[in-house]
Chain A
Amino acid sequence: MAHRDALAALGRVEEFTLANGLKVRLARSAGVPTVSTYTFFRVGSRNERPGITGISHLFEHMMFNGAKRYGPGEFDRALEAAGGSSNAYTTNDLTVYYEDFVSDALERVFDLESDRMRSLAIGEKMLASERQVVIEERRVRVDNEIAGLLDEELSALVWKAHPYRWPVIGWQKDIENIKSSDCRDYFRTYYAPNNASLYVVGDFDPKAARALIRKYYGTIPRGPPAPAVLDAEPEQRGERRAQVRHPAQAPSLMIAYRAPPAKDAETLVLDVLQYVLSVGHSSRLMRELVYGKELAVSVSVDWSWRIDPGQLVVYLELKPSSKPAEVEAALYRELERVAAEGITEGELQKAKNNLRAHLLRELATHSGRANAFGTYEALLGSWREGLALPARYEAITREQVKAAAARTFSGDRRSVATLIPETAP
């Protein structure tokens, strides 16, 4: 099979760990004359506490505001001038920084990234200005956006004790009150090389890269081990419901089911289930709820792997005339049908074919591959797991999918947030 050879070729990765604990993965490949670097820090909103929610994300912004060698604004200036661009993202579990650039800029990128890992400057003035930027980001993504509002309401409903309870961007008041001393503590603890992994993928010489990485990162001191996160989440003993009233043309529904952590064997079975339910026009929920009964305008199932037990979320945008209760009932009938009767052999094969094709497409670019390797290593334990996925999906049976659906889609492990349209004030 052609995809096996292609995957085997992608597995040629050089890996090593510096004395200070920084993990490094180098994957050379021809193709376009660019390189992508991804730096994964094992910190996200999961590592926060009430009072400083949103600090992981605010911190992500601060990482672009100057360090010892490259002062405020110089990170982006130096990188763009060298032919590259940079960005970052924060999730519940991880904070990830990346650069895509022309191959010649490799040394410059190591210089820039290691500078801020070694000696980030956290000034009051910068923090005050960046805080305003993040508050505007919150306004656009949460306060003035329906899916954002629902998502925030839903997480607070699903999680009682676990830090997954608060939004990654943080509560407004917390963002307003985070202090530069909080940021400095955060930096010392979570941005040490022993809490990070560096992925380099693209058109470069691994031998030269290895020497450069030693030169730039080798002398950054190791930090204290990051404190463990306690998962104190109690068992859910019945359905939970919330409503959000907001001016809107149509109602919408966001429904979460409790689900296992990424490393659990059932995670990949839920991938198959997610595909059967909502990926593609021929998926069950698209066919039944969007095209068949015409109850919803769109339906998606988000099964985002997480370090601790997570959530599988169904999001439905309804028609202005739809009754949320009817749509809910129709959705639950479909989910219960999968739990009771399982899926067909054709559906199983289709899901496997799509999971494989999507994985290959994800791995097709330098940037996609570096990000995928980092994600698989952080959530599954090794970047190699990513390349083994097609074979592991291939082994999944209909019985496993049925059993996973039965375990997951229980009304007692469900949380429902409904957007109720109201007329503008």
Chain B
Amino acid sequence: MKLPARQRFTTSTGLEVIAARRGPLPLVSLRLVIRAGGAFDPPGRFGLADFTARLLRRGTKTRTAKEIDEAVEFVGGSLATAAYEDYLTVSVSAPSDYLAEMLEVMAQLVREPSFPKAEVASAKTRVLAQIANELDDPSSLAERAFVSAFWGAHPYGHELVGRARDVRRFTRADLVAFHRERVGPRVSTLVVVGDVEPRTVFAATERAFRGWKGGPATAPVVLPFGRPASEGQVVVVDKPEQTQTQVRIGARGVRRGHPDYFPIVAFNTALGGSFTSRLVREVRVKRGLSYGIGSHFDALASGGAYSVSTFTKTENTRKILDVALAELAKMRASGPTAAELATAKSYVNGLYPARVETNEGLSHALAELSVYQLAPDFIETFRERLGAVTRAEAAAAAAVRLEIDRPLIVLVGNAAQVKPLAKGLGTLTVKTVADLE
């Protein structure tokens, strides 16, 4: 697969810049990643990275929030700031004619955010209301319960948006400190993909970011993840009005860049990563138990989670668990068949180019190469490397990586009806919605 040529550059104060020219549409995607994600939230301040990302756009030394929004949106651009576990992003999609103006706005956001007091207060209200609304959504509740049970005390063990009790305590000083300690050029990478010449990108970036200083000198490291403390736990979240149970099954996964990555993609596609996978066939096609089921390896810098997600009407909760767990066990015991492996490769490889088809898709993929220190030719060689996985390698990876002897099980639904159905699956705890606030 051929990608547009990439060129690299470092600004005078150490910001890494990667540029790739791609037309013909006169658009550009700019993505600044800062290695300062939710994993670096200070204790008692869960959600601070996410809150910082939200507040970066709410005012700088020279522009109000309104002026920032107007500057980007007037020309047809859109600005997003977000936190993930390992990094923060500030990204803009815009018509390519406005590259320099957009870079100038991005630079201001990360260099001199002013965190106005009134904006901090109003953002707190919005985040608290968002958390309240998420608690009404059974699927979000299941994610919240999963994340905290699975990762436990590890820095990944909380929702990025945080906990209501912590958010209520956020102050302007917290933001100022997080920004001062975590945000700077030497832990950041800017990726620019679109209808612009790399040399124009470099000149405009140097102009916009000249003199940017501060932040750590080297990328911070997240503590390695051992074993999930939640093994063998069944967490039931009581939502009595539910007629359907949201189901999650979890086990230890692998960190990003793990040598088993390609064999894992191979067996997981056959297990629960495509529409013809075993889980979809057994749960949806053969038994009509659910509209959807899937399995994922979520790989982060210092560890990963394996999870199965699905939902079914309350009465079928046990049935769907039994069917899914049996499929996981079968895959672990003997791996994918030769035909499944061949299909998994064709399927993933056929669709892989679409992941980098848009400017945004490619800038995201390139930014992750940099954050997770993957091989520079990871994207170009992806299809070849997946194609080379043998059945023995996929089976060996399934045997070792599907650690499902004592899985974590999360069930969101009517606890009175669900509890008896979960008997014998592990140590049961019932949580209320308020426990997850």
Contact = CB atoms under 8 A, between A and B. Distances in A.
Interface of A: 2-3, 5-6, 9, 31-34, 73, 76-77, 80-86, 100-102, 105, 128-137, 139-140, 143-146, 246-250, 280-283, 287, 290-291, 294, 297, 317-320, 346, 349-350, 353-354, 356-358, 360-361, 363-367, 424-425
B431 interface: no
A129 B274 CA distance: 20
Contacts of A291: 65, 122
A250 B133 contact: yes
Contacts of B354: 32, 34, 100, 365-367
A6 B26 CA distance: 8
A424 B412 CA distance: 14
15 contacts: A2-B96, A76-B276, A80-B343, A81-B342, A85-B347, A101-B350, A101-B351, A102-B349, A102-B351, A133-B291, A146-B137, A280-B73, A281-B69, A290-B126, A320-B132
B31 to A, nearest CB: 15
A80 B274 contact: yes
The 8 nearest A-B residue pairs measured at CB: A83-B350, A132-B288, A357-B76, A353-B76, A2-B26, A282-B69, A102-B350, A32-B353
Contact of A364 (B27, B69, B94, B138): B27
A249 B137 CA distance: 10
Interface string B330-374: 000000000100110011011101101111000000000000000
Nearest to A281: B69
B25 A6 contact: yes
Which of A130, A131, A354 neighbours the largest number of chain B CB atoms within 10 Å of its CB? A354
Contacts of A81: 339, 342-343, 346-347
A367 B95 CA distance: 21
Given A349-B74, A353-B75, A143 B244 contact: yes
B314 to A, nearest CB: 10
Nearest to A36: B354
Interface string B57-73: 10000000110011001
Nearest to B281: A73
Contacts of A247: 136, 239-241
Contacts of A356: 76
B135 interface: yes
B307 interface: no
Contact of B347 (A2, A80, A346, A365): A80
Interface in B20-54: 23-27
Contacts of B76: 350, 353-354, 356-358
Contact of A317 (B74, B133, B288, B350): B133
Nearest to A87: B275
Given A32-B356, A81-B342, A353-B74, A287 B276 contact: no
Given A31-B357, A281-B79, A364-B359, 17 more contacts: A84-B350, A102-B349, A129-B288, A130-B288, A146-B137, A250-B129, A282-B74, A283-B73, A287-B66, A297-B129, A317-B133, A350-B73, A353-B95, A354-B76, A357-B77, A363-B25, A364-B27
A34 B74 contact: no
A290 B351 CA distance: 39
Contacts of B66: 282, 287
Interface string B276-301: 10000100111111110000000000
B230 interface: no
A247 B343 CA distance: 44
A159 to B, nearest CB: 26
A358 B122 CA distance: 30
Contacts of A250: 129, 132-133, 136
Contacts of A101: 350-351
A263 to B, nearest CB: 26
B317 interface: no
Interface of B: 1, 23-27, 57, 65-66, 69-70, 73-79, 93-97, 122, 125-126, 129-130, 132-133, 135-139, 195, 239-244, 274-276, 281, 284-291, 311-313, 339, 342-343, 346-347, 349-351, 353-354, 356-359
Nearest to A9: B24
B134 to A, nearest CB: 9
Contacts of B69: 280-282
Given A145-B137, A360-B26, A424-B239, A32 B357 contact: yes
Contacts of B353: 32-34, 102
B276 A77 contact: yes
A297 B242 contact: no
What does DSSP make chain B's interface, helix, strand, loop or mixed?
mixed
Contacts of B97: 2
Nearest to A147: B137
Contacts of A128: 288
Given A6-B26, A9-B24, A80-B346, A249 B135 contact: yes
Given A294-B125, A319-B129, A365 B358 contact: yes
A366 B241 CA distance: 43
Contacts of B65: 281, 291
Contacts of A100: 351, 354
A208 B260 CA distance: 41
The residue in A133, A144, A247, A365 that gathers the most chain B C-beta atoms within 10 A of its C-beta is A144
A139 B24 contact: no
Contacts of A34: 350-351, 353-354, 357
Given A346-B74, A353-B76, A365-B357, A137 B243 contact: no
Instruction: With a 10 A CB-CB cut-off, give which of A34, A101, A102, A290 has the most chain B CB atoms.
Output: A102
A364 B76 CA distance: 16
A61 to B, nearest CB: 9
Contacts of B243: 139, 143-144
A136 B313 contact: yes
B112 to A, nearest CB: 19
Contacts of B291: 133-134, 136-137, 140
B240 A83 contact: no
A133 B76 CA distance: 41
A136 B312 contact: yes
Contacts of A73: 276, 281, 285
B313 A139 contact: yes
A80 B241 contact: no
Contact of B27 (A144, A146, A294, A361): A361
A77 B1 contact: no
Contacts of A135: 313
B57 to A, nearest CB: 8
Contacts of B57: 281
Nearest to B137: A145
Nearest to B345: A83
